[in-house]
């Protein structure tokens, strides 16, 4: 019924071993023989059985992408970068979503990885997430995206710098009373929210400005969270003249809160985000853009290398991608 390597071998008058070598492009195969085998394989419409190949070789030819969200912009965009690289390399991409602490009832990812992938890519889990540690404990080649951990390869932006750039932008515009909408779990080491806050602090400190603790609110990296945080800021007795939101989605929520209060972004209060979200241009939001697709790409490429030569290469590399400030209408000089 289904045609196997043996059929090809018989048709070509060679052994299965030769067919296997020829079709995989291994050396020590006569050019003519290889060509003949390839033609016959094509004629017979032969395709290798991945299961058999995997069983025999021990390699699965697939890698898992572990993410707390599949539909949200950042994660989906990273995923698209990963996918393009893996597709080119002929590697299967197994998508696995995890609970992200808040989420649904989901199976833990680690058990699902065993024996079925050659490596894993983890997107923006909390460094304290036990699921992350379970995955790392598996010992298979792994790269992190959007978070760092000591001793583990990762691809991120310089979050401290990103926070600093955003804050400095507002400072340069003359703002002094600056609010901040944080993600969550500021305090945990090696996290984007923490690092971005550190950058914010540093910029403020360098400028000789105080950080009013009443002007810092959690937005949990969601639009509604950002909206609530902004509402809290707006209802202060001394509202800020500018606000730094640690993500564009939170900034979107903040914009919405402003509109509810009849305030004009930029005009009344300046707002800057981080991400370079597709919608930020439409909403005229200033932002520190990060190359999200490239984050995924680089991580995938790095992992592929790691898979190729298990020994060679820097044991664990921390790749930092550049960010850039995009100034739009949501940030303006502080009105005199």
Residues near its own copies, by CB under 8 A: 2, 47-52, 54-55, 60, 62, 65, 69-73, 76-77, 79-80, 83-84, 87-88, 90, 92-97, 104, 106-107, 111, 114-116, 223, 252-253, 255-256, 278-279, 282-283, 293
Nearest-approach distance from CB 314 to its own copies, in angstroms: 27
d(CA 62, CA 66): 13
Which stretches does DSSP call E strand in 54-176?
Answer: 62-67, 92-97, 119-123, 142-145, 154-157
One of 27, 187, 262, 311 touching DNA (CB under 7 A): 27
Task: Rule CB under 7 A: say whether 13 interacts with DNA.
Answer: yes
Choice between 57 and 172, CB closer to DNA: 57
Structure tokens at 24: 């995989």
Helix or strand or coil: residue 246? coil
One of 10, 11, 16, 69 touching DNA (CB under 7 A): 16
Task: Rule CB under 7 A: say whether 175 interacts with DNA.
Answer: no
**194 interacts with, out of its own copies, DNA, none, CB within 5 to 8 A per kind:** none
d(CA 106, CA 109): 9
Which stretches does DSSP call E strand in 102-240?
Answer: 119-123, 142-145, 154-157, 178-182, 216-218
Choice between 13 and 111, CB closer to its own copies: 111
Choice between 260 and 314, CB closer to its own copies: 260
Interhelix angle 5-12/31-43, nearest 10 degrees: 120
Choice between 5 and 123, CB closer to DNA: 5
Question: Of 21-29, 87-95, 273-281, 327-335, which part binds DNA (CB under 7 A)?
Answer: 21-29
Structure tokens at 82: 């990963």
d(CA 328, CA 336): 20
In the window 30-59, what residues touch DNA (CB under 7 A)? 30, 32-34, 46-49, 51-53, 55-58
Q: Are the CB atoms for 239 and 245 separated by under 8 Å?
A: no
d(CA 17, CA 3): 16
Q: Which residues contact DNA (rule: CB under 7 A)?
A: 2, 4-6, 13-18, 20-21, 23-24, 27-30, 32-34, 46-49, 51-53, 55-58
């Amino acid at each position: 019924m289904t045609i196997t390597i043996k059929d090809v071998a018989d048709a070509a008058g060679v052994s299965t071993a030769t067919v296997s070598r020829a079709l995989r492009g291994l050396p020590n195969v006569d050019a003519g023989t290889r060509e003949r085998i390839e033609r016959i394989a094509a004629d017979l419409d032969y395709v290798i059985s991945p299961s058999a190949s995997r069983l025999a070789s021990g390699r699965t030819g697939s890698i898992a992408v572990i993410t707390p969200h599949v539909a949200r912009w950042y994660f989906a965009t990273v995923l698209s970068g990963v996918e393009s690289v893996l597709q080119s390399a002929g590697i299967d991409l197994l998508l696995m979503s995890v609970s992200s602490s808040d989420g649904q009832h989901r199976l833990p990812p680690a058990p699902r990885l065993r024996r079925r992938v050659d490596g894993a890519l983890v997107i923006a889990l909390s460094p304290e997430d036990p699921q992350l540690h379970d995955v790392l404990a598996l010992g298979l080649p792994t790269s992190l995206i959007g978070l760092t951990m000591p001793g583990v390869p990762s691809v991120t932006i310089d979050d401290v710098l990103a926070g600093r750039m955003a804050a400095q932008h507002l400072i340069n515009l003359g703002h002094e009373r600056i609010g901040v909408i944080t993600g969550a779990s500021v305090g945990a080491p090696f996290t984007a929210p923490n690092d971005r806050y550190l950058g914010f602090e540093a910029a403020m400190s360098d400028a000789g400005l105080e950080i009013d603790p009443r002007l810092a609110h959690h937005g949990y990296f969601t639009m509604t969270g950002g909206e609530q945080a902004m509402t809290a800021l707006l209802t202060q007795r001394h509202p800020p003249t500018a606000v730094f939101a640690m993500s564009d989605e939170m900034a979107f929520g903040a914009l919405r809160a402003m509109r509810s209060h009849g305030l004009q972004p930029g005009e009344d209060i300046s707002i800057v985000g981080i991400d370079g979200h597709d919608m930020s241009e439409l909403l005229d939001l200033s932002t520190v853009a990060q190359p999200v697709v490239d984050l995924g790409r680089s991580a995938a490429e790095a992992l592929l290398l790691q898979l190729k030569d298990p020994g060679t290469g820097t044991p664990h590399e921390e790749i930092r991608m550049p960010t850039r400030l995009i100034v739009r209408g949501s940030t303006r000089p502080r009105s005199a």
